[in-house]
Structure 1
């Protein structure tokens, strides 16, 4: 029985490039899936549920009214007078200007209505309230 000449044996090689490709793919995959699991609206507000909630066009101002009574405009704290003055200017520039209020479900109903009345007082006519769609768990 004749054995092969050892000079013609191909030496095994360790190919690292495909392994790097796979590792980068896994890294990107887990980064993307973890982003989809995180609520991108980072404000600590629990919105009430509404079974008939509808998707509305994008609001120009998203005002968040937190449980502690603080006001936030697009994820930045703001005082009421500055907010109302800015809303008045925007309403005068654009008649289609709209505001969506994201009020925590633990907020006093009177405080939410007072904020809506303040917006109406400065001339904002297109107001909306944000809610989670679906039945309350």
Structure 2
């Protein structure tokens, strides 16, 4: 039996360029798939602009007040009484329940405060007001 000389063995080469290409492909794939997971189902409104806006995706209820005064929960129209009733049910289930209000910039202040007052009277204490970054 003929034995090989250990000094004549060639070390295997690792070609790293295809590995880098695959890693970049995976990075782009996961970035795009993550962006598609954050889908806010809302109606279009012209939000007021503010300099110091924070993004908070942990809000459980997204209420929209359109310019005509109509209320929308997520992407469906809803009445005030039904909205308050549903919010009370959610508040009883989740202690960290919060309502984010997206009001059109032309909605009157009294309408916005009226909705917040009704929600506060129903026991909802955590609110957020949505705005666009300047």
Deviation at 1:43, TM superposition (A): 1.8
RMSD of aligned alpha carbons: 1.8
CA distance in 2, matches of 1:133, 1:82: 31
Could you list the structure 1 runs, at least 4 aligned residues long, displaced by more than 4 angstroms after superposition: none
Structure 2 partner of 1:117: 117
Which runs of no fewer than 5 residues in structure 2 stay unpaired?
Answer: 1-31
CA distance in 2, matches of 1:42, 1:84: 18
Show CA shifts across 1:80-126 (max 9, x none).
Answer: 00000000111111110010000000000110011111111111111
TM-score, normalised to structure 2, is 0.67
**How many aligned positions are there?**
97
Trace 1:93-112 onto structure 2 (pairs within 5 A).
Answer: 93-112=93-112
CA distance in 1, matches of 2:117, 2:54: 23
Structure with larger Rg:
1
TM-score, normalised to structure 1, is 0.66
